[in-house]
Structure 1
Amino acid sequence: MSVLTIQSRVASGYVGNSAAVPCLQQFGLDCIAIDTVHLSNHPAHGSHRGRRVPAGDVADLLDGVAERGLLRTVDVVHSGYLGATDTGPVVLDTVDAVKRAAPMTPYCLDPVIGDNGTLYVEPDLVTFFRTKALPAADLVLPNLFEAECLLGRPLSGVDDAVAAARALQDKGPARVVVTGVETPSGLMTVGADGPEIWCVETPRVDVASSGAGDVFAALILGCLFGRESGFNTALEVACGFVFELLTTTKALGKPDIALVQSLHLVADFTSNFKAKSIL
């Protein structure tokens, strides 16, 4: 199987395609990786160099992939950090092209907007996600703040996250995963798969976690499409692996997620955190 993954890349650390591609490959998935930004490192480190890849260059790369007939081989399209609003239509044009050849090919949208109440993209990109990308998606994976931005209302707690998942389903995607929902004892991930709602709770790990969301998305895709796991199992594996990843990162005192030290766990990973059905 082949995944077309369109998101950022860093030279140092593991964010965007730098994180997603090695994870997806652990599931035996071939990757066609298109980068939307090239940075020296994640901006959370304080300083960075690099640039956004212009939308025209992203389109040119995708045209080159299409000219080789590779879009016809794509089994999943995934988009993450886009960098600028004008890259959005380029992505959706590609989704349309893939679906014209194979209408059942899923489009998985990670609407990278911000976190913890902080927006780190231009407001027009939020509008694009809300009005254009979300209706086109089959699976959407926002954190709680991103779900707030997509729905235009404040959210807090598990009940709000469940309601948000349902509201996002009403806008297009059959599957929704909302991450980063705070609970008294940790963090909850809420997943909606058609009429079913699943929750997985993990302890909080206080450590720098840039790239963990990209790993999480890749694990979800790897389980669903590489292993053909059930939705609840995919949630368990993704939540459990990210917990182990962050625990290892903290133990080693690394400034970036300890992906190299954790990647060997993916192949046979069994989560200690079980998904609970709440509907």
Structure 2
Amino acid sequence: MKGVLSIQSHVTYGHAGNSAAVFPMQRMGLEVWPIHTVHFSNHTQYNQGWTGKVVSADAIAEVFEGLEKIGVVENIQAIVTGYLGDASHCDVIANIIKKVKAANPDCLYLCDPVMGDPEKGCIVSDGVAESLVGTLMPMADVLVPNQFELTRFTGQDIHSVEDAIAACSKAQSLGPDLVLAKHLHGVKGNLFSMLLASSEGTYLAQRPHLTFPREPVGVGDMISATFLAGLINGLAAPQALEHCNNAVYGILEETAASNQWELQLIAGQKQFETPSNNFKIDQL
């Protein structure tokens, strides 16, 4: 049995981190084996706060050692990493990636380098962003940063589509084969824009913005998971992007219609299989 190893945060209530990534991949037909980097009651944007704690690097390593003991490491066909609770997680995860790729050289590593965004700034603990830039992001086969994270990795400011193309190209030169800039702010009209850079070309996916009283959390985690699932299911990168863009928009429509803050993954789950929207991507 082949599966995806998903190493990121977990919330008991709602959908962020693994709680926003595992189910979409499962709904798209994949086995998913999660390891949590933090375990919180809810995501951190609640005014009431949250409870829970960061998982230690030793605990993450211990869970992976259990997978080694039962002989399933060679069956890990992809690894996805997201929010990390401590800089020490980076070295442990780098070691896990090396071990998995030694057992299965075809394993795909997708790095979602969660650091923050232009409005919130850096939201991770001290040293995490530096460790992501210096260790995990260059190891990625697929890199899925937002605009803030792409600039942090490449050192290139982004004010236009042309800037984003140049930044994605720079990111590719630093290691990753595929770079999906998953949220570009105001680079092309009043639309939500994602830019994919691959060896075959550069592609722009856009969709309308939806207005929420409070912006849902976990959208980026859902994007990364849905895009990865498309790749593993045999879609070419541009088609995986198009499917991801339409599926995610469908979930956001469901969320807006329900007047909820938390992503409505369960109510809208059919979107992951057969999206109700059909926004086409453009090759640039």
* Further displaced range: 57-66 or 242-251: 242-251
1:52-85, Cα deviation, whole Å (9 max, x unpaired) = 1011111111111111111111000111111111
* Further displaced range: 268-277 or 20-29: 268-277
Equivalent residues in 2 for 1:124-139, closer than 5 Å:
124-139=127-142
Match of 1:23 in 2: 24
Match of 2:73 in 1: 71
Alignment gaps of 5+ in structure 2: none
Match of 1:252 in 2: 258
Aligned residues: 277
Equivalent residues in 2 for 1:92-171, closer than 5 Å:
92-117=94-119, 118-171=121-174
| Structure 1 residue 271, shift from structure 2 partner | 4.3
Equivalent residues in 2 for 1:217-256, closer than 5 Å:
217-225=224-232, 227-256=233-262
CA RMSD of superposed structures (Å): 1.3
| Structure 1 residue 268, shift from structure 2 partner | 2.4
1:89-123, Cα deviation, whole Å (9 max, x unpaired) = 11110100011112121111000000124110134
SS at match of 1:65: helix
SS at match of 1:37: strand
Match of 2:199 in 1: 194
SS at match of 1:260: coil
Normalised by the length of structure 1, the TM-score is 0.96
Alignment gaps of 5+ in structure 1: none
| Structure 1 residue 265, shift from structure 2 partner | 2.2
| Structure 1 residue 173, shift from structure 2 partner | 0.5
Distance 1:140 1:7 in 2: 15
Distance 1:159 1:195 in 2: 17
| Percent of matched pairs sharing the same residue | 29
SS at match of 1:126: helix
**1:52 and 1:83 in contact (8 A); partners too:** yes
Match of 1:184 in 2: 189
Question: Which of 215, 221, 229 is the aligned partner of 1:214?
Answer: 221
Normalised by the length of structure 2, the TM-score is 0.94
Distance 1:188 1:268 in 2: 21
Distance 1:53 1:230 in 2: 35
- 4+ residue stretches of structure 1 with deviation over 3 A? none
Q: Say yes or no: does 1:10 pair with 2:44.
A: no
SS at match of 2:36: strand
Distance 2:25 2:11 in 1: 17
1:172-228, Cα deviation, whole Å (9 max, x unpaired) = 001000021123221210001114101011111122220111111111011110x20
SS at match of 1:184: coil
